[in-house]
Structure 1
């Protein structure tokens, strides 16, 4: 069996917390669009997570590093698979699971380009009718919903916003953070899309 070993950095401030969260949450999940955790090890101060091997790597390698060309059919299926994973986490689990780090390099692709969501180090369990109470921003710039940036409170909706950014990446081939046409300032993909489409910014 081919596997991937994720080694948690010994110098990481939140390493043990993320390692524990990842084991606690993903070890009880089974869904075709989630990367499967095969095992873990924490001996001699080493924190290791063992995952199934995903032959085609992460989505961002294909979108931005030209590992291969993604046809529109593949892009559509990848978006559908990611939506299916989030629907399962938000609605079908005993407790709602907020991933809090949905982005293209956490979307993994198998040999047939089926997409699976991975990296649950920042995920949190919450009641289905409540939002996360976390007050620490835990995501990557460009993927964060405006209300999450302002309040620090993650929710199903902030996960869905991040999914929307990934969907735009898939459709447009643009990174989540870029520059305006005159290169004067950075802009988010959502802002770029609204300007490009002639939509008013909210």
Structure 2
């Protein structure tokens, strides 16, 4: 079993990514104003660097948002889903419900961080894929296949999977999904695989080292 898991509601995940994009837009707008007001070349270069980093993050988040929306369209139902006064669930189409302001059904999936053994299994499968490509070149690339294995290994359970799914089922699902969904899934698996440990900020370490040299 994965080391730690998280169950994600894709509708909530889409909202989270959307909010993060709004925050970055506000940050870039502020940085643009600061860059316009600052005449110092060094300060301007630093601000431009921050802006460029922000846009790189935007590119990633926009791809992931596309992937999440694709999954909702692919596997989510279009029922309103709002709770009715009698305690039931509204079954009207989400996009034309006359009674509720609804965005439709959602999809839940459980993702897990990889253990050392699971990571080794991904590497073994990737090496097998490389061996099967012998004759394709001196060093055939199987990076894309490896990323599919990693995402599939981190997919623990989902509404759209069978009960207790085998690895092959998850691999096929990831292989047949939109690339943007695979990118989102891989990023979330990476997040859960990486231990939440504070190792310090290297920029601060560098500043301290430079201060020692100058003192």
- TM-score tier, shorter chain, comes to under 0.3
TM-score by length of 2: 0.23
Which structure carries more strand by proportion?
1
Higher normalized helix content (fraction of residues): 2
**Higher-RCO chain (CA-CA 8 Å, sequence separation at least 6):** 2
* TM-score, length-scaled by structure 1: 0.24
